[in-house]
Structure 1
Amino acid sequence: MELVVASNFDPELIASTREFPIVSFFGNFPVTLVGGGRPPHILPRITEAQFRTHVAAVHASGREFYATFNTSDLGLREYSAGFLERLQAEVTRLVEIGVDGFVVAIPALIEWIHREYPYTRLSASTFARIRTVAQGEYFLRRGADTLVIEEANRDFRLLRGLAAAGARVEVLVNQTCIHDCPFRFHHLNTSSLASQTDTVDAPWFEFPLLQCGLEVARDPAQMIAGIFVRPEDLEVYEEAGVHRFKISGRNQTTPWIRRAVQAYTARQYPGNLLDILSYVQNRGPRAALQRLDQEGVSPEIVRPLRAALDPLGTMTIDNRAFPKGFLRRIAATDCAAISCRDCGYCAGVARQVVRINGHRLSEYVPPGDLPAGEELLPAFGSTYPGNTPQERAGRPPIPR
Structure 2
Amino acid sequence: MSKSKLTIPCQWDINVIKKILTFTAKKDIEIVEMYGALSNGKLPQGREKSIAHHTTREEARKIKLFLESQKIQFAYLINTPINMQMYDELEEELEWIINVFKADSLTISSLELFRFIRKKYPTVRINVSTIAGIKTVADIEPYISLKPSKIIAHHDLNRNFVELTNVITFLKGKNIDFEIMLNESCLRRCPFREQHYDALGKGITDRSFHMKCNTIKIQKPYQLLMANFVRPEDLVMYENIGVKLFKITGRSKPIGWLEEVVFAYLNRQYNGNLFRLLGTDPILEVENKIYIANSALNGFLETYPKSGNISEEKNYCEQWINKLYLNKKFRVENLHVQSYLDKNNLRFLIEDSIY
Shift in Å, 1:159: 2.1
RMSD: 2.6
Return the TM-score normalized by structure 1.
0.76
Aligned to 2:27: none
Equivalent residue in structure 2 for 1:318, among 263, 285, 293 = 293
Shift in Å, 1:343: 4.8
CA 1:208–1:172: 2 relative to 1, 3 Å? same
Where 1:30 maps in the other structure, the secondary structure is: coil
Larger % of strand: which? Answer: 2
Equivalent residues in 2 for 1:126-165, closer than 5 Å:
126-149=130-153, 150-165=155-170
Matches of 1:138 and 1:168, distance apart in 2: 16
Shift in Å, 1:134: 1.4
CA 1:312–1:256: 2 relative to 1, 3 Å? closer
Is the Cα contact below 8 Å between 2:226 and 2:314 reproduced in 1? no
Equivalent residues in 2 for 1:1-400, closer than 5 Å:
1-19=4-22, 20=24, 21-71=30-80, 73-74=81-82, 77-78=83-84, 80=85, 83-95=86-98, 96-149=100-153, 150-166=155-171, 167-194=176-203, 202-203=204-205, 205-280=206-281, 284-285=283-284, 313-324=288-299, 326-330=300-304, 332-335=305-308, 337-339=309-311, 343-351=314-322, 352=324, 353-357=329-333, 362=340, 366-368=348-350
Matches of 1:49 and 1:348, distance apart in 2: 52
Matches of 2:242 and 2:339, distance apart in 1: 36
Shift in Å, 1:191: 2.1
Shift in Å, 1:137: 2.7
Shift in Å, 1:247: 0.5
Shift in Å, 1:318: 0.5
Runs of 5+ in structure 1 lacking a partner?
195-201, 287-310, 374-400
2:333 maps to amino acid: N
1:321 maps to amino acid: A
Residues 137-165 of structure 1, C-alpha deviations (whole Å, 9 max, x = no match): 32232221211112221112222222222
Return the TM-score normalized by structure 2.
0.85
Matches of 1:362 and 1:349, distance apart in 2: 16
Matches of 1:254 and 1:86, distance apart in 2: 30
Where 2:195 maps in the other structure, the secondary structure is: helix
Shift in Å, 1:35: 0.9
Shift in Å, 1:116: 2.2
Matches of 1:312 and 1:11, distance apart in 2: 26
Is the Cα contact below 8 Å between 1:312 and 1:356 reproduced in 2? no
1:314 maps to amino acid: K
Is the Cα contact below 8 Å between 1:170 and 1:242 reproduced in 2? yes
Is the Cα contact below 8 Å between 1:110 and 1:144 reproduced in 2? no
Where 2:156 maps in the other structure, the secondary structure is: coil
Moved more, 134-143 or 119-128: 134-143
Matches of 2:287 and 2:64, distance apart in 1: 37
2:106 maps to amino acid: F
Shift in Å, 1:193: 1.9
1:217 maps to amino acid: I
Shift in Å, 1:186: 1.6
Residues 92-120 of structure 1, C-alpha deviations (whole Å, 9 max, x = no match): 11112121111100111112222322332
Shift in Å, 1:360: 11
Identity %: 25
